[in-house]
Structure 1
Amino acid sequence: MATVGTEQRGARRRRGTGARVLMAALLAAGLAAGCTTPNGPRDDGRGSPDESPTRPGGQDVPPVLAVKVDNAPAARPQTGVDAADVVYAEQVEGGSSRLIAVYATELPESVGPVRSARESDLELLRQFDRPVLAYSGAQSKLMPLIERAPLEAVTPESEPGAYTRGADRSAPHNLYLRPERLMDDPPGEAALTTGFRFGRPPADGEPRNELTVRYPAARFTFTWSGARDRWLVSMDGAPALTTEGERLAPATVVVQYVTVRRSGFRDFLGNNTPYTETVGSGKATVLRGGRAYEANWKRPAAEDGTSFSTGSGEAMNFARGQVWVVYAKTP
């Protein structure tokens, strides 16, 4: 299994220095072309150019940090989720849910609670070109797959200095990652090889104030806030908050309809672990700016990002800011 030991951390820091120079050049070129960055002007739909962050070919861009985050009621409020560029929500055993938070433009002080990995995470994360995956625990039969996957696995066993235990909760809901103990700086927008595009919204779309996604034992509700220009997140009927008491509020929400099938794995209670297929094509609902857009998604191979288009074939642009992708079973 690939771990992040002292020698590797040193190499990553050296790569990080080169990446900062690279990102400075990319940002300068982007500003010269009139485009924005994730922390730049908010896309208000009135003239921002279409753009799709891509990894420059052949250049050494540091990897994103992906963290498997607990979403049981006892784990809330979570720490650091609001700083993620992308948050993926997926169904796990017993019909409950879990999150994957992906960081490229900002590294929070702490992220968690950190929980175990699943088989479908490996396919989902292939698009990021050897990401760092922070998780705690996995089934013994899954470990060989993780070891062979093109990622750097960081666990409390491989990198104990990167994790801490909170005193205000009981295990397993009290394990937190300290990202700065893994990397000095965020890798930058070029590491976000998701295939997402940011820019002006399509001309169509229906006014929508709220949308709920239901799993067998969990649900997500997104409510539009015109005052904040964001979608306020609720989970299982309660507001989803940061540890500071603020609402989690992405700029764009994607409900991506996928195949969710049985895998070859079960939990200790005998519940089958669902496998969420993220390669292929299908339908999606995209929420941005108080409107809902019916879209098509396509991801030809695991190494590819996911592209979204309208029914007429126009590229489906997202609003600048955090993106939530909620995987829902195709009706």
Structure 2
Amino acid sequence: MKKNYINYIAILAFFFLLTAGCGRTGGDKTPTAETPVLTPSEQSEPAIEELMVKNPLTGLGMDKDRGGRRPLAVMIENETSARPQSGLNKADVVYEALAEGGITRFLAVYLGEDAGEIGPVRSARPYFIDFAMEYDPVYVHYGASQSAYSDLQKNRNIHAIDGIYDRVTFWRDKTRKAPHNAYTSTENILETAQKRGYLKPIDLKRWEFNEGGDSLPGESLKEFELVYFKNYTVKYVYDEDKEAYVRYINEKPHTDRKTGDPIVVKNIILQFMDTRVIDSEGRLAIKTTGSGTGYYISNGSYTRIKWQKPGRFEKTEYTVEGGGQLKLNPGNTWIQILPSQDKFKISD
């Protein structure tokens, strides 16, 4: 009798252990009041860090670490011996205006992308300083006219890097002749600016952008020319696939030196400004303040605009014909400064 009792207890213990083991190995476990089931909407998901921010110069996304950083504004030459240039295709905004001799010069503004080679870098002019200061940038040039040096010395808010006195930031390309061979890069500029304490954080607000692909209505414009001088003509031709304009100089594609690719532009602003010769060297004075007229060109069409700039270092405001602030389509912008409206020729 005692032996049967012991066997009975052993069998019960065996089944108890087996049942407990099955509970630990998982399987389909029936939920109880103490273990509620969470629906997908109730389950928590890991937070995803936002890695991109909106570029205030293009309306496109850029790396988060560029947010609040000062742009870099670089003077770039455009004489025949300077072409093709390097880095214009990486700039968010580019100004083109006449310099002496009937040729133009560029001011290229960088924020959203790095450029491993920029140049050839050339000297400053007062009106280019006016354009640059609308972005509170680190201003980069290689020399300057006397009046431009005066402006740079008087205004302590201008943080400039001059290749005449700073050779570390620049290099000379031996395959080209001086003075058309001074180059720099965004990396070099940022390193120098960091050492000098120029990289202060800023809250840059420059343009408003059309959201959702809405474009400003206007008249069709697939091709047009800008005649800066009798032997120097810029042409833009609209590319339907790229939804942007391909740029030409004297009937040849304007290409990047490093890639060989043509420069493509999303937004083009034509701005007419009073221009006059001021010395025997042919240097110019361009009246950047006051008000005037122009055109906004994008997505294969154009519309008339007006511009107004209260002071030299204040922002230029653009309004569309009939009123309302100009909103750009997301992408890069080239601002073409022209002496008069008859320099703008629409192709038939």
TM-score by length of 1: 0.75
Residue of structure 2 in register with 1:220 after alignment: 234
CA deviation after TM superposition for structure 1 residue 240, in Å: 0.3
8 Å contact from structure 1 (residues 27, 37) kept in 2: no
Corresponding position of 2:247: 233
Q: Secondary structure at the match of 1:124?
A: helix
Measured after TM superposition, the shift of residue 108 of structure 1 is 0.8
Match of 1:289 in 2: 299
Deviations 1:19-74 (A, max 9, x none): xxxxx99966x79xxxx94237xxxxxxxxxxxxxxxxxxx944221110010111
Distance in 1 of aligned mates of 2:271 and 2:147:
29
Could you say which residue in structure 2 is the equivalent of 1:155?
A: 162
2:224 aligns with: 211
Aligned-pair CA distance for 1:245: 1.2
Q: Alpha-carbon deviations, 1:285-317, whole Å to 9, x = none?
A: 111000011111122223332222221102221
Q: Distance in 1 between matches of 2:316 and 2:52?
A: 24
Structure 2 CA distance, aligned partners of 1:314 and 1:190?
Answer: 27
1:255 to 249, 270, 274: 270
CA 152–88 in structure 1, closer or farther in 2 if over 3 Å, else same = same
Tell me if 1:134 matches 2:147.
no
Amino acid at match of 1:252: N
SS at match of 1:162: coil
Distance (Å, rounded) in 1 between the aligned partners of 2:112 and 2:88: 13
- 1:47 — aligned with what? none
**Helix, strand or coil at the partner of 1:122:** helix
Deviations for 1:218-269, whole angstroms, at most 9, x for unmatched residues?
2211111011111111112211001211110110011111111333xx4xxx
Following TM superposition, by how much is the alpha carbon of 1:326 offset from its aligned partner in structure 2, in angstroms? 0.3
Residue 146 of structure 1: aligned partner: 152
Q: Are positions 1:71 and 2:81 aligned together?
A: no
Matched with 1:56 is none
Match of 2:332 among 308, 322, 326: 322
Q: What is the alpha-carbon distance in structure 2 between the residues aligned to residue 192 and residue 209 of structure 1? A: 32
Counterparts in 2 of 1:232 and 1:189: CA distance versus 1, 3 Å: farther
Question: Quick one: distance in 2 between partners of 1:85 and 1:192?
Answer: 14
Structure number with higher relative contact order (C-alpha < 8 Å, ≥ 6 residues apart): 1
* Cα gap change, 1:189 to 1:232, in 2 (>3 Å): farther
SS in 2 for 1:272: coil
Whole-Å Cα distance in 2 between the matches of residues 151 and 61 of structure 1? 18
The number of aligned residues is 277
Matches within 5 A, 1:18-33: none
Aligned positions of 1:290-309 closer than 5 A: 290-309=300-319
What's the CA shift for 1:205? 0.5
**What amino acid maps onto 2:134 in structure 1?**
Q
- How far the C-alpha of 1:99 sits from its partner, in A, is 0.5
Quick one: structure 1 residues 203 and 314, their matched pair in 2 at CA, closer, same or farther if it must change by over 3 Å? same
Give percent identity, aligned residues only: 24
Letter of the 1:241 partner, please give it.
Answer: T
- Structure 2: runs of 5 or more not aligned: 1-48, 342-348
Helix, strand or coil: the match of 1:182?
Answer: helix
Q: Contact (CA 8 Å) 2:68, 2:204: kept in 1 or not? A: no
Counterparts in 2 of 1:291 and 1:78: CA distance versus 1, 3 Å: same
Is 1:38 aligned to 2:45, yes or no? no
Do the aligned partners of residues 302 and 161 (structure 1) sit closer, same or farther apart at CA in structure 2, a change above 3 Å counting? same
Q: Which has the larger radius of gyration?
A: 2
Paired residues of 2:68 and 2:201 also in contact (CA < 8 A): no
What 5-or-longer segments of structure 1 have no aligned partner?
1-23, 41-59
Question: Does structure 2 conserve the Cα–Cα contact (< 8 Å) formed by 1:104 and 1:189?
Answer: no
TM-score, normalisation: structure 2: 0.72
State the alpha-carbon separation in 1 of the partners of residues 142 and 284 from structure 2: 19
Shift of residue 192, structure 1, vs aligned partner: 4.8
Distance 1:204 1:329, change over 3 A: same
- Which residue is 1:11 aligned to? none
